[in-house]
Structure 1
Amino acid sequence: MATIELAGLTKVHPGGVRALDGVGLSIADGEFFALLGPSGCGKTTLLRTVAGLEEPTAGTVRIGGEDVTALPPGRREVAMVFQDYALFPHMSVSENIAYPLRVRKVPGAERRARAAETAAALGLGGHLDRRPAQLSGGQQQRVALARAMACHPRAFLLDEPLSNLDARMRLSARTFLKRLQRELRVTTVFVTHDQAEALALADRVAVLEDGRVRQIGTPAEVFRRPANTFVASFIGSTPMNLLDGVVLPDGRVGVGGVPLPAGNPGAPPAPGEKVVYGVRPEYLTYVPGRTDPAAPEGGLPGEVTVVENLGSAQLVTLQGPAGAVQVVVPEDVPTPPGTAARAVPRPDRVLLYRDGELL
């Protein structure tokens, strides 16, 4: 096991395209760390640079305290699991798992023994003689993980290994992967564009945008207190409501002409200052009917325009003076389109942003 430390990591492709822009990260020994961001943000390039498959334009990569920036992939003692698993179709499960050991010239008997041991640990003991085409997607994923585990690497580097699975299989594979990492305690870097996966699996998350790290924190931290409006809009199964507002003389924030609680900003803004009012749909209370918008409990008025079924809840869109506001509503509450209603924020869950950054 090992720490992974990145300092000033920059990657500029031909033509001046900057895939990584001065990335600095410190990943603890045995930590499950997620690199999260939209397509094109640089997360896979960052993972490949740690693996040695990409050469940085500038910066350093240290694994276990050793500067490996100039080392080839085979000497970094890391194992990478790719999105498509990259299994050899003409080889058996046993041969696929043992292949990295074969490259390292490990004796045949030891290769077979380690392949069998690793396969048994991942529930593949009865499939050693099968070819990849005879396996399900989940089983192929486990073969790829077994191949990585058999090398006893210092770190696992996982590039969206669950993205080829169907929704049900992804959930079970996610549980399996988290349990496996906890048992092995191997430093793991997991790339994904799926924020639900990152929040469910990782000890800490780095959110990337355009080759830069926008926030690093625990899943709870990046969900509850996004450092900027990019993270606020990206994290969460339902995006945060981000509404234009202005600070009122009494300290509240006027949003669409309605005074709302300002929460507890770290740096209180001055009256008259323009801010972005952030509150997640989960932290708004749906109240049917109209009321005086100036009342403290008034909330944001609107009319139900869209209702999305989330299973155990509904995502309701209200259209009003502040624009479109989304609210998570219990499944048994009637929300017919055209209904007049209010969205009342929880004061302790309100966030204010200035120039895109959290106050």
Structure 2
Amino acid sequence: MADITLNRLAKVYPGGVRALNDLDLTVRDGEFFALLGPSGCGKSTLLRTIAGLEAASGGAIRIGEREVTTLPPGERDIAMVFQDYALFPHMTVNENIAYPLKIKKVGKAERAAKAQETAEELGLGHLAERRPGQLSGGQQQRAALARAMACHPKVFLFDEPLSNLDARMRLEARTFLKKLQRELGVTTVFVTHDQAEALAMADRIAVMEGGELRQIGTPTEVFRRPVSTFVASFIGSTPMNLLAAEVVEGPAVRVCGTELPVPEEAADGVREGDKVVYGIRPEYLRWTDSATEGALEGTVSVVENLGSAQLVTLECENDTTVQVVAPEDHEPAVGGRGRAVPRADRALLYRDGDLVTAAEAVPA
């Protein structure tokens, strides 16, 4: 197999629009690596540039020991699965799977046998003679995966391959895809705008914004310790609470009229009087009905049922909104008072958009 190394990779479109801005990145051999970010951040452009479907404007791309920056897609030893799967509608499942082998001039009997073997591996053997229009979305996805697998590439590139599936099928497909990648051990780059997908599937995640890599880390690192308010607000099914705060004597930090301890890692990086942002995820706040020291207090304005829990929105002083995950068996009354106690070991401080004392978490 092979790793992928990008060195100062740039992509500039006519008119001077910079889609990729001198990116340095290494995807490790056998790794499942997710590119995550909002629409227009450059993640699909990056994937297509690695594939050779977009020409790099500068920098270099290496796959394994080879530099492939100027090579056409067919010579890069990669396989790509697109959002719409790009199956040939006039071909059967087996013919679609065998097509890359035909391009490589593999003999007819060998490619037919390989196509059938790959179809069987992905549970498509009984559908081998059907055409894409006769398949469900999940079956089409598996056919596209089988076609990518058949030629044993060094790298898989996935461009939002789950986005056309319904909610239940997406969950099944993501489990299947992660298991398959582990079994094959093929270096994989997966583009998505869905944070839950990236957190559930990837070994590491790169969060992108405006053609830049804002943070690279494991799902746990990126979720628990985002290096900027952009990453903090983007990652997670419920965004991190980012609350205006001031450092006061102690040192402590005053948030919504309540004094809370300064997070340990930020203690040497702030001074009394500093204006900061206090970050705490809704999952790391403990709901309580009773008056409790160190609690953020407010009026319940919205209660959202998450099934296994309640997402409660509190309106605190100065029109500050705080969201907290409350236990499933406790549904606060809208209009009533509520309190949320932060976990001190999960709180973060930001200044000018960056994590205070975030040096060790800078993308590498």
TM-score, scaled relative to structure 1: 0.97
User: Does the CA contact (< 8 Å) of 2:79 and 2:155 recur in 1?
Assistant: yes
Matched, 1:119 2:116: no
User: Does the CA contact (< 8 Å) of 1:41 and 1:211 recur in 2?
Assistant: yes
State how far apart, in whole Å, the 1-side matches of 2:311 and 2:57 are. 45
The C-alpha deviation readout for 1:17-42, integer Å capped at 9, x for no partner, is 11111111101110000000011000
Give the structure 2 partner of residue 77 of structure 1.
77
What is the root-mean-square deviation in Å for CA atoms of aligned residues?
Answer: 1.0
- Once the two structures are TM-superposed, the CA of residue 78 in structure 1 deviates from its matched residue by 0.2
Matched, 1:300 2:301: no
- Once the two structures are TM-superposed, the CA of residue 260 in structure 1 deviates from its matched residue by 1.3
Give the structure 2 partner of residue 314 of structure 1.
310
**SS of the counterpart of 1:265?**
helix
State how far apart, in whole Å, the 2-side matches of 1:65 and 1:250 are. 55
User: Does the CA contact (< 8 Å) of 1:288 and 1:339 recur in 2?
Assistant: no
Structure 2, unmatched stretches of 5+, are: 357-364
- Once the two structures are TM-superposed, the CA of residue 10 in structure 1 deviates from its matched residue by 1.0
**SS of the counterpart of 2:231?**
helix
Identical residues among aligned pairs (%)? 68
State how far apart, in whole Å, the 1-side matches of 2:288 and 2:306 are. 19
**Which stretch shifts more, 251-260 or 77-86?**
251-260
State how far apart, in whole Å, the 1-side matches of 2:331 and 2:70 are. 62
Give the structure 1 partner of residue 89 of structure 2.
89
- The amino acid across from 1:226 in the alignment is P
State how far apart, in whole Å, the 1-side matches of 2:102 and 2:65 are. 28
Provide the aligned length of Structure 1 versus Structure 2.
354
User: Does the CA contact (< 8 Å) of 2:35 and 2:43 recur in 1?
Assistant: yes
**SS of the counterpart of 2:264?**
coil
State how far apart, in whole Å, the 2-side matches of 1:220 and 1:153 are. 29
State how far apart, in whole Å, the 2-side matches of 1:264 and 1:284 are. 17
**Which stretch shifts more, 86-95 or 16-25?**
16-25
- Once the two structures are TM-superposed, the CA of residue 73 in structure 1 deviates from its matched residue by 0.4
- The amino acid across from 2:136 in the alignment is S
- Once the two structures are TM-superposed, the CA of residue 204 in structure 1 deviates from its matched residue by 0.3
**SS of the counterpart of 1:164?**
coil
Matched, 1:351 2:340: no
- The amino acid across from 2:91 in the alignment is M
- Once the two structures are TM-superposed, the CA of residue 167 in structure 1 deviates from its matched residue by 0.2
TM-score, scaled relative to structure 2: 0.96
- Once the two structures are TM-superposed, the CA of residue 289 in structure 1 deviates from its matched residue by 4.3
User: Does the CA contact (< 8 Å) of 2:303 and 2:331 recur in 1?
Assistant: no
User: Does the CA contact (< 8 Å) of 2:303 and 2:311 recur in 1?
Assistant: yes
Give the structure 2 partner of residue 281 of structure 1.
282
Alignment of 1:151-230 (within 5 A): 151-230=151-230
State how far apart, in whole Å, the 1-side matches of 2:196 and 2:251 are. 35
**SS of the counterpart of 1:12?**
strand
**Which stretch shifts more, 249-258 or 170-179?**
249-258
- Once the two structures are TM-superposed, the CA of residue 334 in structure 1 deviates from its matched residue by 3.0
User: Does the CA contact (< 8 Å) of 1:33 and 1:202 recur in 2?
Assistant: yes
Matched, 1:36 2:32: no
The C-alpha deviation readout for 1:46-81, integer Å capped at 9, x for no partner, is 000000000111111000021110111000000000
- The amino acid across from 1:31 in the alignment is E
> Structure 1 runs of 4+ off > 6 angstroms?
none
- The amino acid across from 2:288 in the alignment is V
State how far apart, in whole Å, the 1-side matches of 2:102 and 2:217 are. 39
The C-alpha deviation readout for 1:236-284, integer Å capped at 9, x for no partner, is 1110000111111101101133211222225431111111100000111
User: Does the CA contact (< 8 Å) of 1:83 and 1:164 recur in 2?
Assistant: yes
State how far apart, in whole Å, the 1-side matches of 2:257 and 2:265 are. 21
**Which stretch shifts more, 260-269 or 201-210?**
260-269
Structure 1, unmatched stretches of 5+, are: 292-296
Alignment of 1:244-283 (within 5 A): 244-266=244-266, 267-283=268-284
**Which stretch shifts more, 254-263 or 124-133?**
254-263
**Which stretch shifts more, 337-346 or 207-216?**
337-346
User: Does the CA contact (< 8 Å) of 1:31 and 1:187 recur in 2?
Assistant: yes
- Once the two structures are TM-superposed, the CA of residue 346 in structure 1 deviates from its matched residue by 0.7
- The amino acid across from 2:280 in the alignment is V
The C-alpha deviation readout for 1:183-207, integer Å capped at 9, x for no partner, is 0000000000001000000000000
- The amino acid across from 1:108 in the alignment is K
Give the structure 2 partner of residue 66 of structure 1.
66
- The amino acid across from 2:21 in the alignment is D
State how far apart, in whole Å, the 1-side matches of 2:95 and 2:167 are. 29
